[in-house]
Amino acid sequence: MNQKVVCSKCGGRGILIDTDPTKPAIRCSCYQQRVASHTHLGIPPRYQSATLDNFWTWWTSEHPEAELLSQLDLANQLLMNPMSRGTLKNGLDLKLEHILQKSGYQPSNQGLGNAKNIRYALQPSGYDQLTGWASQGKSISDFWWISGAPQSGRSTLAAAALKARIARTSESGLFVSIRTFSQELKDVYYDIRSFKNTDFQSERALMEPLMEAAVLVIDDFDRLDNDIRLARAFAQLLDYRYAESKPTLLTATQGPRKVLQSEQSPMIKLGDESLLRRLEQSQRVECQPTLKSLITLIAST
């Protein structure tokens, strides 16, 4: 039987208690290693088996080919009709043309047209950039923002990208659910609704693993608890990671501006335009087929 190795600095507690009672307890350096080895980078069980390959398999099953061919037909009709094409602003016509060309689309007089490679219409917007960053180190970005409706696969994709990146680089990584972590952080503030901070951890001690992880996923960022103290803590975290050029992946149902400027968001109380600009400049991934996103955008303008 293997003998359990106990950290010599903290005795296996995961925290270091100073002999000076006026100083707060802090996380031991062994904590990050335990997170990686025992909780699979902190990834919840639902997403622990996620890989980029099985994400793509699931994605293709969720978006049938016939549906994409129908949208390619619609895109072709919009371009072929001079009146409808004249309404396509901001380069939307060129984007549709690009997808039709890349897909090898050919219209048909009988039923749906044909496409040699439907992947270009099917994949999420920004998907190639994210997978290239994770698997091959092609892109460089401080922030990735993965948005999509509930059950759209955004958390699964974030977990898969994190695992692929860590497998390639052997960096440290961490996946954090903001709802769970928010409650842990509120316990530091002696929130009487759920006091579980029995180790009397400081805010700095709880935030340290998030600060030090080479790659961090913050899942469901738009569900941050409506507490100005939490908003301030996460703003400081993102500022630190930006300054240190540590990649951070955030998932949410909507884009940065709608999330950060929502009346329900505690971030709006900070009035931090600098943080907003940084997050708006994130590499964006939208968990919706690229062609469907364009057609939805056209319909809304």
| pLDDT of amino acid 137 | 87
Max Cα separation, the chain?
82
Residue 13 DSSP one-character state: S
Cα 4 from Cα 255, distance rounded (Å):
45
Q: How many CA atoms are closer than 13 Å to the CA of 148, on its beta-carbon side?
A: 25
pLDDT at residue 175, as a whole number: 97
Chain centroid to CA 203: how far?
23
Residue pair 272/235 in contact (Cβ under 8 Å)? The answer is: yes
Place of tokens 């907003």: 276
Q: What is the pLDDT of residues 163-209, one digit of tens each?
A: 999 999 989 999 999 988 888 888 777 644 444 444 556 778 888 99
Domains of the chain: 40-54+124-289 (3.40.50.300), 66-122 (no CATH)
Per-residue confidence (pLDDT) for residue 6, from 0 to 100 = 62
What are 51's two structure tokens? 């890989």
State the pLDDT confidence band at 138, using cuts at 50, 70 and 90.
Answer: confident
pLDDT at residue number 39: 44
